[in-house]
Amino acid sequence: MKSRKSSSFELVRTCYRVLDEKKAGELQVLDVGALSSITDFLILATATSNPHLRAMRVDLEKALKLAGIRVMGIETSEESGWTIVDLFDVMIHLFRADVRSHYGLENLWKDATVISPREVLADSTRASAKKLSRGIRKPRVSRK
């Protein structure tokens, strides 16, 4: 397995955690760096509905903004059931289940290295990811 760029992999970890907290289904991380000239990692996630798809994208955008991560582009259309978030070294594909099975990106990238959830989540940066995810929740209103 090739050596991973630490900043890219930290970005993968952050995005994975945000999507996991938002109950994304079938979360999968693929290391495509050796196969692609345009990105190092793909994150694939499944939404249960269009509102869930939108919620995953919105929380991801908030976390990235909070972390100061520049989003290269977002391609989304409610009718398509597929949202792409381009972070340059990391590309995130959010799908409704029917759309994910129709396009089968996992098959297109079958030679990629699949990174296990354990490997993605194993790190001492959990505290920083929790801090990021807390920042996207509505603050509590204190009553005096």
C-alpha distance from residue 14 to each of 17, 21, 65, 87, 91 (Å): 5, 11, 12, 12, 13
> Where do the H-state alpha helices sit in 4-103?
6-21, 50-67, 97-103
The pTM of the full predicted model, rounded to 2 decimals, is 0.80
- Reduced to 3 states (helix: H, G, I; strand: E, B; else coil), residue 9 is helix
> Are residues 60 and 15 in contact, defined by beta-carbon separation less than 8 angstroms?
yes
Predicted confidence (pLDDT) per residue in 8-45, tens digit: 888 999 999 999 999 999 999 999 989 988 999 999 99
Dist CA 56 CA 13 (whole Å): 15
Strands of the 82-86 sheet, one edge to the other: 73-77, 82-86, 90-96, 41-47, 25-31, 113-115
Predicted confidence (pLDDT) per residue in 70-100, tens digit: 899 999 877 889 999 999 999 999 999 999 9
End-to-end CA distance of the chain: 56
